[in-house]
Amino acid sequence: MSWNYNFTMGIPSDFDDSDLIFTRQLGLKYAYSSIPPDKKEHEYQAVKRRVDRAAEHGVTFSSLHSSLYIKPPDVFLGKPGRDDTIKGMIEYFHVIAELGFKRFTMTWEPDQVWSSHFDADVRGCKARFVDLNELVKHPFTHGREYELEEVWDAFAYFMDKIMPVCEKTGVSITLHPNDPPTYSKLGGCPCLIKCLDDYKRAFGIAGSKHLRMEFCCGCWLEGQSEGMGDILEDMDWCLTNDRIGVVHFRNIDQPLPVFTEMFPDMGYFDMYKLMRLLCKHDYQGVITLDHTPTMVDGPARRVPMAYSIGYMRALAERAIAELNA
């Protein structure tokens, strides 16, 4: 039994040669980055320059996020102006399709990944900390309170517009769960994706295999107390049904309502069980660390990236050896 190590890592939107050299030094073929919120940066030649520069160092972008279109609140909440935003997104899909991209990442969050602060202590590293009891008190972020069915209606409207484009271009949308995945409203907005049943509803609305999922292990572990479901059973279903396009390999210290992000070899869950399941299914999509605590190199986070990629690779090699025994 063999397995394709499609590990990928994030590099800054203003990446330079050293970021690409570091990617190759880790033995990675793939990286992902983001396009700044400038329409001109989303045009074909501008995106191609990024792709070509990475290729000069033997690096292929697994995806190029768009700062304009990854979390557009007008689309997510069904607000005026969404048709113009969707039009711009469609134009970008045609650009990335022409350059060979097969996925576009979205999280149905009109605001942000919600966090309390980033000053938690993890072995002397700074890390993300979430206290849901505090977050639910946040004032409305979009003028009023929204109901869950309003958000589902906005999702259905978007799917009706975008899925034909995905079918035509071959670009799939990989949908990330809400972070944190809670049944409480944050900033007055309900979470769309907070369990596997929500994903199944989304897949049914899309009516196309071009809606896929980012299986965020961190979100699944966060939501164990909120009804997210058993992470191993859910991952097995998603792999069996070929729904996963990206895996976020992140661990935390405990489920909601309060948690701190940890390194993969820390936290309350044995991440080897997940890596073994991925290897068992011969998963061919990409895997990335997602968030990580900050170490001595600060925001660049090259040290924790190298540490975690090495650990993930070791887990995969151990799993393959066991499965081949």
pLDDT digits (tens, 9 = 90+) for 60-74: 999 999 999 999 999
pLDDT value of position 179: 97
Measured CA to CA, the distance from residue 14 to residue 255 in angstroms comes to 35
**Which sequence spans correspond to the domains of the chain?**
8-324
Q: What is the mean pLDDT of residues 178-195?
A: 97
Question: Is pLDDT above 70 for 2?
Answer: no
Mean of pLDDT over the chain: 95
Q: How many CB atoms lie within 10 A of CB 170?
A: 13
Question: Is pLDDT above 60 for 264?
Answer: yes
pLDDT digits (tens, 9 = 90+) for 147-178: 999 999 999 999 999 999 999 999 999 999 99
pLDDT value of position 270: 97
Q: What is the mean pLDDT of residues 72-93?
A: 97
State pTM to two decimals: 0.95
Question: Is pLDDT above 90 for 269?
Answer: yes
Q: Is the previous residue joined to 299 through a cis bond, with omega within 30 degrees of 0?
A: no
Measured CA to CA, the distance from residue 246 to residue 114 in angstroms comes to 21
From the list 273, 276, 304, the residue with the least C-alpha distance to 125 is 304
pLDDT digits (tens, 9 = 90+) for 284-323: 999 998 888 999 987 888 999 999 999 999 999 999 999 9
Residue position matching structure tokens 């994030």: 10
User: What is the residue-wise DSSP string for 279-297?
Assistant: HHTT--SEEE--S--B-TT
Task: Write the class of the CATH domain 8-324.
Answer: alpha beta
Residue position matching structure tokens 């699944």: 220
Question: Is pLDDT above 60 for 1?
Answer: no
